Structures are given as structure tokens and as C-alpha cells.
Amino acid sequence: MSKKTCIAILVLVSFAGCSGLKKLPANAADKLEEVRYGPYERNIMDVYLPANRTDKTPFVLLIHGGAWTMAGKEDIRDFQDSLFRHGIAVASINHRYANDTDVHYPQMMQDVDQAVTYCQAHAKDWQVNRKDLVMSGVSSGAHLALLYAYTTSKKVSAIVEFCGPTDLSDTTLLNYAIKVGLMPVIQKMTGKTYVKGQPVPSEFKDSSPLYHVKNIPVLLVHGTADPVVNFNQSQRLNDRLEAGRITHKLIPIPGAAHDLSLRTSPATKTMIYNEAEEWILRYGK
């Protein structure tokens, strides 16, 4: 057997979830860092497994923000650490950045799905919940978490999202994005160009979670003074969930900007994290 053939077999085995990992003891905590879940450079994640976990322990897939084009899993480490301390298993992922050529929302959805598939394939090794999944994200990561939860055929038990855009076809949002210089990243995400006063390309609606809603319990957290993603985006989704009688809760943070005052108000941070953890523990298993 040639060296190239051996390498090819090893790669296929790894991505099929049959990598021969030693089963991790469920009574001990483990942190698996820089785990490669797919073939692209940014297809890596950190998996935190709490001690005394069972097949009923909630498992969260967490997606960072950064306008689809920057930042990484390290930027939401604090939230991941908090979930871990409260007995929740969580995989925090990086994904390919949106660009002008070949990476748009379908490709980022592929990355998310690859990460989910990898985690489910290794659930037996990690001794974690394989059947139930909680999607969570911040800002653009919240958008990806919502869109994936609403469009995947895999079971998603709950969603926790922070300040995510929900309707990218909303011309009020698009015209504001032009004004503040955010249109380039939205166009990279959709792969299409929006021109004020002209019809909005269908990809803007297709990439909007608002138009794909399914019956999944959702916790929404948003600052009422958010200058990046207007609070109205969460209100619009809240109204759709209300009309569909879908379990949900909208937590407005009065006067908070896009950062939700997490760094400046310890009380606000504690409240938000507690609400998120309670939601995950209630609906994520």
C-alpha cells in the first residue's frame, strides 16, 4: 500500500468519526482544544466536557460573532467557560470566513453541519448526548445558529441567540447597513449585491432565519440601543414566534449596545448567563 493511500484512508476514517479515540471517562472533566472537524483551515473547535456527564447532559454548539468575516472561538471563551462550569457540554467552533468569491452562507452552513456531524460521530467516545443539540451564537454567529437550526434535518432541541440579525431582506436594515459601512460584509455573506431602491436579491431572504422558523424553543437576548443590529430584528422574530405559538423568550437589555454591557455590568452578565443556562438545561435534553 502506498504512502498516499495510507494517508487518504486515515483522513476518511477521521472524518467518518471512527478515529479510534479512547473513550473519555464521564466522571472526569475534559477540554479538547483545536479539534479539527473538517478539511478547511478554520474547521477547528474547542470541546469542553464537564465531569459527571450523562447521555442526558445538554450539548451546545457555539458560534462566535465577527460579521461573518473576522474573530474566532476565543472571543466567546467566557461564555463557554460558564456553560462548562454549570455542567453543560459545549463545542465552540470556528468556521470559514465569508468572502467575495467562494464562501457565503451556504458554505458556512456546511461548516456548521460538518461540526455537528463530527460531534455526533464522537459522542460515544466523549460520552455525551448524541440525540439532542442546542445551537447558540453571538451576533453573526447567532444568525448562523438560527439559520442552521431552522434549515437542518438534524434534531435541534433549543436555541440561545444573542443580538443576531434575523431578516436580511429588511430594507430598513440594509439601508442602515449602507449608512454605517456594514453592507460589504452582508454582501459577502449572501454572495449578492444590494442597491438601494432596487429589488432585494432572493439570497437576502433565503439567508434570513425569520423565513425558515420551526418549532424549536428559542431564547433571544438583545440590547435595546444596539447600533449594529437593531433591536427590531429580535422583535420581528419574537412576533413570528408569538404568532406561531412557539416556545420563546425575548430578554431586552435596556440601553445596552451590541456588547450587551457584558464587560461593564457584572449584574447584567450574571443575569444573561443564568437565563441562557436555565434555558439550555430546561430544553436541551
**DSSP line for 28-83:** S-EEEEEEE-SSSTT-EEEEEE-TT--TTS-EEEEE--STTTS--GGGGHHHHHHH
Nearest to 173 by CA among 189, 191, 145, 194: 194
The dotted CATH code for 19-165+216-283 is 3.40.50.1820
Provide the whole-model pTM.
0.91
pLDDT of residue 55: 87
pLDDT of residue 21: 54
User: How far, in Å, are 59, 75, 207 from residue 158 at the CA level?
Assistant: 10, 22, 20
Count CA atoms closer than 13 A to 41's CA, side-chain side: 2
What single DSSP character describes residue 196?
T
What's the chain's average pLDDT?
92
Res 96 pLDDT > 60: yes
Nearest to 116 by CA among 100, 98, 129, 103: 129
Query: Any idea how long the chain is?
Result: 285
Res 188 pLDDT > 80: yes
- Region 87-93: what's the mean pLDDT? 97
- Region 57-76: what's the mean pLDDT? 97
Tell me the sheet residues that pair with 46: 92
Torsions phi, psi of 139, nearest 5? 60, -120
The share of the chain scoring above pLDDT 90, in percent, equals: 87
Tell me which H or E stretch contains 156.
Answer: none
List, edge to edge, every strand of the sheet that includes 30-36. 30-36, 44-49, 89-93, 59-63, 134-138, 158-162, 218-223, 248-253
Torsions phi, psi of 98, nearest 5? -65, 145
Res 23 pLDDT > 90: no
Tell me the sheet residues that pair with 89: 59
What single DSSP character describes residue 130?
S
pLDDT of residue 22: 67
Are 178 and 196 contacting, i.e. CB atoms less than 8 angstroms apart? Answer: yes
Tell me the sheet residues that pair with 138: 162
Q: Give CA–CA dist 114/99, Å, rounded.
A: 19
The set of residues, in sequence order, having a beta carbon less than 8 Å from that of 68 and lying 6+ positions away, is: 97, 98, 105, 108, 140, 143, 144, 185, 188, 189
Cα Rg of the chain (Å, integer) = 19
> How do the domains of the chain map onto residue ranges?
19-165+216-283
pLDDT of residue 5: 36
Are 236 and 222 contacting, i.e. CB atoms less than 8 angstroms apart? Answer: no
pLDDT of residue 17: 37
Res 265 pLDDT > 80: yes
CB atoms within 10 A of CB 131: 13
- Return the C-alpha cell found at 19: 478515529
Res 109 pLDDT > 80: yes
In this prediction, residue 25 has a pLDDT band, given cuts at 50, 70 and 90, of: confident
- Return the C-alpha cell found at 104: 457565503
